[in-house]
Structure formats: structure tokens, C-alpha cells
């Protein structure tokens, strides 16, 4: 009698603990929408909405601005099995450590079971975020485009034409230099990324840009890098560009001390400032014979990953899929695109965009061809070697061929 | 009552004594265990783990591929490693000469003055409490070519602006704030050491007619030589860890001219994602640190001067 009482009491205790626990599904989410990101407010609203609709779910928001150290933290979280339940990360070559950790769920089937959700996305965009094994692991929200951000006031004041060709570009450089204005702000020392991509794209064309480096060193890459050297010698960049990064370059542009800046859609809102009141974004000029004026670097290279562990956890599954659905719904995509001016991954038209963003969307629509950035296509160690090599190339300390030789060696080794 | 208390205390202390003598090792072990665990988890294990990683080609910390001594061969053939080592040694010499040297000089000066000691103590020590990252950012803005303070001042006096961070000056430019930040640290150590010197010695010297210079060189310096030795060792080991200031101001550039071992290790791991090779550089830094520290101890010696 006594024994059975104890067993009953113990069972009651276990059940009651179970009931308490059932009320608290905890979900960890990482997104890049944090800090100064223009979409962070909208993202927080989305999370709040979800919390209100699902009081039984507790959300631990681990969002942080994505810099190199956060990237490494995320990679290591996946390598060590400590990943968040939903992680926003890259879908390009940088996805390798995430997908190959084996800790994310392919989403194709989940999407297929939920046609309304799936139809919210543009098919072409889903195609672009597919991993090399043919599966979709991440759901895109917004994409980006890159180009030449120009300070319209400075161009009008000094009567300079917004460059579309190499000649016009160098003429603009000369005029601005003569007037004590930095023609093109760039962080060639630390973040020459956008300049590398555009130089190669506009000298060699999309095919050369997209060729990668594993098969051979495309001569257009050499010419592209030499174009940067030519600009450097023409004094196109600020004098201390070799020890600066994007923030220094953007600062110079914002203060109205620089007329041009090669950057992406994410930078437009920040670049438009007291010193640079009227800005717009145009394609980087066509520099070489093979280049095409309207070609762009643009695309979708990030998305929301779903952790395999969370999906296989019966208690979490429903809640985590619901949250993913909520964050990547057509409405959510529209709201985020309106906030950050990016390209929406759904078939929606963002409302209320400012002039430069309208110009940007127009530029994107008029592009003959869009390429993903080079760093989305080659392996990280190889890309960083190229980035570090730019200072050596433009100053003439090492030739472009020499640097690319090293880059290729590392690319082959890494594969 | 009183004798009872006394008795109790005696027994207690006897018991303590017994514990101390009989179970000495256990007690020592018990008290050292937390520290041992802490260091093992957060220092020894990571070092061993890094050492293990040096034998692999690892990108992104996944799919390691065993390559034997490949990373070590790469290390010895990597010109940037040697440049960074050279820069680290230049940094070291500058740290000893300027950080410790200025620290001693300032401490002696401040010790000689009558009023305002506390003011100077606070002023010189102040940079230490600031983070190197924020100081780095500050100096990066000072050195900025187009909008920096230094060039604005030059412009005001109608002089040509200077490219402060070019290959020939970058290393010196990152050394200046690092030295400036830590002078106060050594200054405070030496100043504290100076208070240990009995005033009687100076009074005797004054009666004998010694000049201030003689008092400093014949009394002060010989008596604080032990403390100077400690500060030199601290300065040397400190420079092996230099990272944040350099990273914030130049990130090792341009053309690796201000690259030090700490920044090169960081960029190898966190930018190039070469975990295996980065670990090899880390092990190299540890070995270098042990060698340099033991050499310093050997050369500076531990000749101690006592007052009696």
C-alpha cells in the first residue's frame, strides 16, 4: 500500500514537471539583423509578433552584426554542435562549413508540404540559394546589388559626367583630384572586395568574372587587378587607402570628401548623409572590351538555416518550423525589403523606398546579366589571399600574376 | 572560564597543526585544485589541442587532413612570419627602452617633487584603464590622411599633409600609442618601489653633500634594480602579446610592414580560416615566448641588492 502510494506520488511529480516543461519550448535564433542594420527594427517586430501568437515558445535572440569574428563563432558553433535552432548565414561558398557539418536540415520536403509558403518565394531565387548538392538548406529573405555610389552634388558642382566608360572614369578622377576631392573612396588595404569584383567584371565580362580560379588563371583577372593599379597610380583613391577598410572609405564619402564609392545596396542608407546629401547608385563603368556596361554584381547569398537537431526534436519541430515560416513569409520579406532596401526574395513590390533605392532597383531590372560576387564562388582562404594581395599589386610590389598564382594554389589545396 | 577558553584555543591550534603536518599534501591539493582545473581547461588543454591541430590542414575548423610537418615547413618558408618576428623584436626593444625607461624616469621625477604627486600618478596611469581597442581607433583617426587631427594641424600651419601610415612609418606609428599606454603601468611599479627606500639614506647622502644626480644613480637605481628587472620581463612578455592596438590601427599593413606575430596569427585563423597553420603560428609564439623569457632571466640575472 505504502509502496504504491510512493509510486503514484512519484508519477504525479514526473507528470507535473512534464507539464511545466511542455509550456517552455526554447528556440535560439541568430540573424544578421542587429545593431545598425536597417532591418533590425522590423526583425524585432516579427519576433514580438511570433511571441504574442505563441506564448508557449520562448525565443532566445542571438542576433549580432556579422563581422569576421561572429562568422568564426557561427562556424565553430556548427562544428561543435552548439548551433542555434535557426541561423541566418551565407548560402554561397561560405555555406560549406555550415552545410558540411551535417547539422542543418534540407528544406525541400518541408517546403513541398507547405505550398503556400513555398509559392511565396521567387523560383529563380530559390534556385540561386541551392547548395551544390542540389538541396535547399536556407530560405532567402532579401538579396543585394552592388555598384558605384556617387555623390550627385559633387558631380554637378564640378560639372563631371557620371562615368560609363574607362575614359570618363579617368577624366572624372582627374577633375576631382584637381579640385582637392578624393575621386573614389576605397579601403584597398583591408576590404578591397567590391573593387576587385567590379574591376574584373567590367574589364573581362561576366563569363571571366564567374570563371573561378581552380581551372586556370583567367587573363582577364590579371587585367582587372591591373585596372585597380592604374587607378591607384592615377591617384583615384584616398592616400591612405592601403591601411583602411570599408568604414574609413564610407566615412570619407559621407563627409562629402569623396565623390565615388564602390559598395552595395546595404550601404546606401548609411552613405547618404549630411556631407553626401544626394546620392545615387549606377553600374561601375565598362572598362575593357569584354565588359558590359549594365552587368552587375547582385544576388541572394544568405538565408535562414534550420538546425537538424531542432527539426528532429518532436517537442521543438512544430514551433521551429512555424517560426521559420513566420520569418520568411511573403509579408515578412516585404517588410524587411522595405527596411533595408534589398531585393525581395518574394514576388512583392516594396513600398516607400527612397530615391537612391528606387534607382538601385531600376538598375537591377535593367541589368543584362547579374553575377554573384567572386567570394561567393571561390574558397575563403583563397579569397582572403587575393584581398591581402591587392595592396601589393596596386603599389607594384608584386605582380597580379604572381598573387593569382598563390591564390590558385590555395584554392586547389582547399578544395 | 578564561583558562577554559585558552585550553580550547590551544587544542584547536594543536589540531590545526596536526592537520597541517599530517595531511599537508591533501590540503595543498585541495586548495590548488580549482586553479589547476581552471588552467587545465582554459590554458593547457587549448595549447595541447592547438599543438595537435598543427599537424593538419584544416579550413573552417572542419574536415582536417593530416599533413605531418607541412605547416611547420610552411612556417619556416613564410617570409611574413619572419617579418612579423622581426617586428615583434623591434617592438620588444622599443618597449624595454621606452616603456620601462620612461617609466623609471617619470617615477624618479615624480618622486622628487613635493606637490602634485597624486595628480601625476593618476594622469600617467590613466591610459591603462582605457581599452587598447578604443585607443587604437582613436589613433587610427588621428593618423587619417584626409580628415585626421595630425594632418589638420599641419594644414593649419600651411604645411603639407603627411601619409603617417606608409610602409616606412607604420610600425613606429603603432608603437607610439602602445608605449604611451603602458608607460604608466611601469611608472606605478617603479614609484611604489621607490617608496620602499628609507628616507634616512637620502638624508645621510645630503649631509655628505651628494648632488641629486648622485643620489639617484648611487642610491635610488641600485636599490630598485630588482623591480626594474621585473618590469623588463613584463615588458618583454607583454610585447609578445601585442595585438589589439596594431589590429585597430593598421591590421598589420601596409604590405605587412607593421605585422606582428599576434596579428598574423589572428588574420590566418579568423580571416583566412586556416586553423591548422594559425595554430602553428600560435605554437611558434609560445616557443618564442618561453625562449625569450628564459634568456631574459638569464641575462639580466637575479642579483639582488638589499639595504642591510
In this complex, is the C-beta atom of B12 within 8 Å of any C-beta atom belonging to chain A? no
CB contact under 8 A, A238 and B146: yes
The answer to whether residues B110 and B168 belong to one domain is: yes
The answer to whether residues B224 and B153 belong to one domain is: yes
Q: Please report residues of B whose CB lies closer than 8 A to that of A79.
A: 60-62
In this complex, is the C-beta atom of B169 within 8 Å of any C-beta atom belonging to chain A? no
The answer to whether residues B201 and B244 belong to one domain is: yes
Backbone angles phi, psi at B181, to 5 degrees: -65, -40
Cα separation, A283 vs B48, in Å, equals 51
CB contact under 8 A, A245 and B251: yes
In a domain, B62, yes or no: no
CA of B167, closest CA in chain A: separation in Å? 10
Identity of the residue in A75, A245, A391 whose CB atom sits nearest the CB atom of B61: A75
The answer to whether residues B274 and B131 belong to one domain is: yes
CA of A240, closest CA in chain B: separation in Å? 6
The answer to whether residues B9 and B117 belong to one domain is: no
Cα separation, A232 vs A173, in Å, equals 10
For B182-233, what is each residue's pLDDT tens digit? 999 999 999 999 888 888 888 898 898 888 888 888 888 888 888 888 898 8
CA of A190, closest CA in chain B: separation in Å? 8
For B100-148, what is each residue's pLDDT tens digit? 999 999 999 998 888 888 888 888 888 888 888 889 999 999 999 988 9
Asked whether residue A14 carries a pLDDT value surpassing 80, the answer given is no
Please give the residue of chain A at the shortest CA–CA distance from B166.
Answer: A240
Q: Are A232 and A249 in contact (CB under 8 A)?
A: no
> Which set of grid coordinates corresponds to residue A366?
535593367
In a domain, B53, yes or no: no
The answer to whether residues B115 and B252 belong to one domain is: yes
User: How many domains in chain B?
Assistant: 2
Average pLDDT of chain A is: 89
The answer to whether residues B109 and B214 belong to one domain is: yes
Domain A144-297+356-414 part of CATH 3.40.50.150: no
Mean pLDDT for A294-319 is 92
In a domain, B60, yes or no: no
For B153-178, what is each residue's pLDDT tens digit? 999 999 999 999 999 999 999 999 99
For B20, the domain range is 2-42
For B227-260, what is each residue's pLDDT tens digit? 888 898 888 888 888 899 999 999 997 999 999 9
> Which set of grid coordinates corresponds to residue B221?
637605481
In this complex, is the C-beta atom of B255 within 8 Å of any C-beta atom belonging to chain A? yes
Instruction: Considering chain A, tell me which residue range(s) the CATH 3.40.190.10 domain(s) occupy.
Output: 25-140+300-346, 144-297+356-414
Q: What's CA A277's distance to the chain center, in Å?
A: 25
For B288-306, what is each residue's pLDDT tens digit? 988 988 888 887 766 554 5
A130, with CB counted inside 10 A (0-12, 13-18, 19+), is: middle
Cα separation, A139 vs A64, in Å, equals 19
Q: Please report residues of B whose CB lies closer than 8 A to that of A239.
A: 145-146, 161, 163
The answer to whether residues B177 and B34 belong to one domain is: no
Task: Name the one residue in this structure whose C-alpha cell is 573612396.
Answer: A185
| Interface predicted TM-score (ipTM) of this complex, two decimals | 0.80
Cα separation, A164 vs B130, in Å, equals 48
CB contact under 8 A, B144 and A248: yes
> From the CB of residue A294, how many other CB atoms can be counted at a distance below 10 Å?
15
Cα separation, A295 vs A363, in Å, equals 9
The answer to whether residues B105 and B8 belong to one domain is: no
Mean pLDDT for A307-313 is 93
CB contact under 8 A, A379 and B145: no
A237, with CB counted inside 10 A (0-12, 13-18, 19+), is: buried
In a domain, B20, yes or no: yes
In a domain, B305, yes or no: no
Distances (CA, A) of A265 to A67, A141, A143, A274: 17, 14, 9, 19
B216, with CB counted inside 10 A (0-12, 13-18, 19+), is: middle
Q: Helix or strand or coil: residue A344?
A: strand
Q: Are B205 and B218 in contact (CB under 8 A)?
A: yes
CB contact under 8 A, A190 and B60: no
For A204-234, what is each residue's pLDDT tens digit? 999 999 998 999 999 999 999 999 999 999 9
Identity of the residue in B145, B253, B271 whose CB atom sits nearest the CB atom of A239: B145
In this complex, is the C-beta atom of B155 within 8 Å of any C-beta atom belonging to chain A? no
Distances (CA, A) of B168 to A365, B172, B256, B271, B301: 47, 8, 11, 25, 36
CB contact under 8 A, B254 and A243: yes
For A384-398, what is each residue's pLDDT tens digit? 999 999 999 999 999
Identity of the residue in A76, A240, A242 whose CB atom sits nearest the CB atom of B61: A76
CB contact under 8 A, B253 and A384: no
Identity of the residue in A68, A243, A251 whose CB atom sits nearest the CB atom of B170: A243
Domain A25-140+300-346: CATH superfamily is Periplasmic binding protein-like II (3.40.190.10)
A270, with CB counted inside 10 A (0-12, 13-18, 19+), is: middle
CB contact under 8 A, A79 and B60: yes
Peptide bond into B254 cis (omega under 30): yes
CB contact under 8 A, A391 and B63: no
In a domain, B87, yes or no: yes
Task: Name the one residue in this structure whose C-alpha cell is 586548495.
Answer: B31
Identity of the residue in B146, B273, B274 whose CB atom sits nearest the CB atom of A182: B146
Residue A210 neighbours by CB under 8 Å, 6+ apart:
A371, A372, A377
Q: Please report residues of A whose CB lies closer than 8 A to that of B274.
A: 381
In a domain, B6, yes or no: yes
Identity of the residue in A100, A251, A385 whose CB atom sits nearest the CB atom of B62: A100
In a domain, B55, yes or no: no
In this complex, is the C-beta atom of B152 within 8 Å of any C-beta atom belonging to chain A? no
For B51-73, what is each residue's pLDDT tens digit? 999 999 888 777 788 999 999 99
The answer to whether residues B151 and B294 belong to one domain is: yes
Average pLDDT of chain B is: 86
Amino acid at each position: 500500500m505504502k509502496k504504491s502510494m510512493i509510486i503514484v506520488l512519484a508519477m504525479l511529480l514526473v507528470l507535473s514537471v512534464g507539464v511545466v516543461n511542455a509550456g517552455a519550448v526554447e528556440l535560439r535564433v541568430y540573424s544578421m539583423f542587429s545593431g545598425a542594420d536597417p532591418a533590425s527594427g522590423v526583425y524585432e517586430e516579427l519576433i514580438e509578433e511570433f511571441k504574442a501568437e505563441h506564448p508557449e515558445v520562448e525565443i532566445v535572440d542571438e542576433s549580432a552584426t556579422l563581422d569576421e569574428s561572429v562568422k568564426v563563432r557561427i562556424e565553430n558553433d556548427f562544428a561543435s554542435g552548439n548551433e542555434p535552432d535557426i541561423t541566418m548565414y551565407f548560402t554561397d561558398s561560405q555555406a560549406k562549413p555550415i552545410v558540411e557539418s551535417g547539422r542543418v536540415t534540407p528544406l525541400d520536403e518541408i517546403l513541398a508540404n507547405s505550398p503556400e509558403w513555398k509559392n511565396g518565394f521567387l523560383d529563380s531565387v530559390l534556385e540561386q540559394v541551392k547548395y551544390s548538392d542540389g538541396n535547399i538548406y536556407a530560405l532567402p529573405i532579401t538579396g543585394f546589388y552592388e555598384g558605384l555610389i556617387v555623390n550627385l552634388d559633387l558631380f554637378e558642382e564640378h560639372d563631371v559626367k557620371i562615368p560609363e566608360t574607362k575614359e570618363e572614369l579617368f577624366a572624372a578622377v582627374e577633375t576631382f583630384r584637381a579640385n582637392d576631392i578624393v575621386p573614389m573612396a576605397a579601403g584597398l588595404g583591408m576590404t578591397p572586395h567590391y573593387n576587385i569584383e567590379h574591376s574584373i567584371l567590367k574589364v573581362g565580362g561576366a563569363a571571366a568574372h564567374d570563371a573561378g580560379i581552380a581551372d586556370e588563371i583567367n587573363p582577364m583577372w590579371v587585367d582587372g587587378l591591373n585596372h585597380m593599379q592604374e587607378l591607384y597610380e592615377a591617384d583615384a583613391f584616398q592616400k591612405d587607402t592601403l591601411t583602411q577598410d570599408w568604414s574609413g572609405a564610407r566615412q570619407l564619402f559621407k563627409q562629402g570628401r569623396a565623390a565615388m564609392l564602390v559598395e552595395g545596396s546595404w550601404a546606401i542608407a548609411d552613405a547618404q548623409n549630411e556631407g553626401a546629401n544626394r546620392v545615387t547608385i549606377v553600374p561601375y563603368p565598362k572598362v575593357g572590351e569584354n565588359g558590359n556596361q549594365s552587368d552587375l554584381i547582385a544576388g541572394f547569398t544568405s538565408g535562414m538555416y534550420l538546425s537538424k537537431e531542432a527539426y528532429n526534436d518532436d517537442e521543438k519541430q512544430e514551433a521551429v518550423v512555424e517560426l521559420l515560416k513566420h520569418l520568411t513569409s511573403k509579408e515578412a520579406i516585404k517588410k524587411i525589403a522595405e527596411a533595408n532596401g534589398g531585393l525581395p526574395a518574394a514576388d512583392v513590390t516594396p513600398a516607400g523606398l527612397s530615391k537612391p533605392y528606387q534607382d538601385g532597383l531600376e538598375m537591377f531590372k535593367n541589368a543584362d546579366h547579374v553575377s554573384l560576387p567572386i567570394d561567393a564562388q571561390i574558397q575563403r582562404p583563397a579569397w582572403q589571399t587575393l584581398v591581402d594581395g591587392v595592396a601589393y599589386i596596386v603599389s607594384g610590389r608584386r605582380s597580379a600574376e604572381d598573387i593569382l598564382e598563390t591564390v590558385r594554389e590555395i584554392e586547389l589545396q582547399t578544395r | 572560564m578564561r583558562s577554559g577558553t585558552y585550553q580550547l584555543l590551544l587544542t584547536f591550534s594543536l589540531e590545526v597543526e596536526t592537520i597541517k603536518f599530517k595531511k599537508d599534501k591533501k590540503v595543498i591539493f585541495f586548495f590548488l585544485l580549482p586553479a589547476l582545473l581552471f588552467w587545465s581547461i582554459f590554458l593547457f588543454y587549448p595549447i595541447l589541442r592547438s599543438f595537435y591541430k598543427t599537424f593538419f590542414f584544416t579550413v573552417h575548423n572542419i574536415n582536417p587532413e593530416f599533413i605531418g610537418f607541412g605547416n611547420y615547413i610552411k612556417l619556416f618558408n613564410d617570409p611574413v612570419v619572419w617579418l612579423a618576428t622581426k617586428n615583434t623584436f623591434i617592438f620588444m626593444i622599443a618597449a624595454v627602452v621606452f616603456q620601462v625607461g620612461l617609466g623609471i624616469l617619470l617615477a624618479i621625477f615624480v618622486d622628487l617633487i613635493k606637490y602634485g604627486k597624486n595628480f601625476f600618478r593618476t594622469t600617467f596611469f590613466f591610459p591603462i584603464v582605457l581599452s587598447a581597442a578604443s585607443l587604437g581607433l582613436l589613433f587610427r583617426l588621428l593618423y587619417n590622411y584626409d580628415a585626421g587631427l595630425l594632418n589638420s594641424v599641419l594644414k593649419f600651419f600651411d604645411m603639407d599633409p603627411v601619409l603617417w601610415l606608409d610602409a616606412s612609418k607604420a610600425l613606429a606609428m603603432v608603437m607610439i600609442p602602445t608605449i604611451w599606454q603602458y608607460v604608466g603601468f611601469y611608472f606605478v611599479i617603479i614609484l611604489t618601489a621607490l617608496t620602499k627606500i628609507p628616507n634616512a639614506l637620502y638624508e645621510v647622502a645630503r649631509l655628505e653633500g651628494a648632488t641629486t644626480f648622485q643620489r639617484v644613480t648611487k642610491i635610488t637605481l641600485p636599490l630598485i634594480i630588482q623591480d626594474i628587472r621585473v618590469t623588463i620581463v613584463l615588458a618583454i612578455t607583454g610585447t609578445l602579446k601585442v595585438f589589439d592596438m596594431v589590429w585597430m590601427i593598421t591590421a598589420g599593413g601596409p604590405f605587412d610592414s607593421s605585422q606582428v606575430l599576434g596579428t598574423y596569427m589572428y588574420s590566418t585563423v579568423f580571416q583566412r580560416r586556416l586553423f591548422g597553420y594559425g595554430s602553428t603560428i600560435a605554437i611558434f609564439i609560445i616557443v618564442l615566448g618561453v625562449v625569450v623569457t628564459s634568456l631574459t632571466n638569464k641575462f639580466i640575472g637575479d642579483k639582488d641588492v638589499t639595504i642591510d
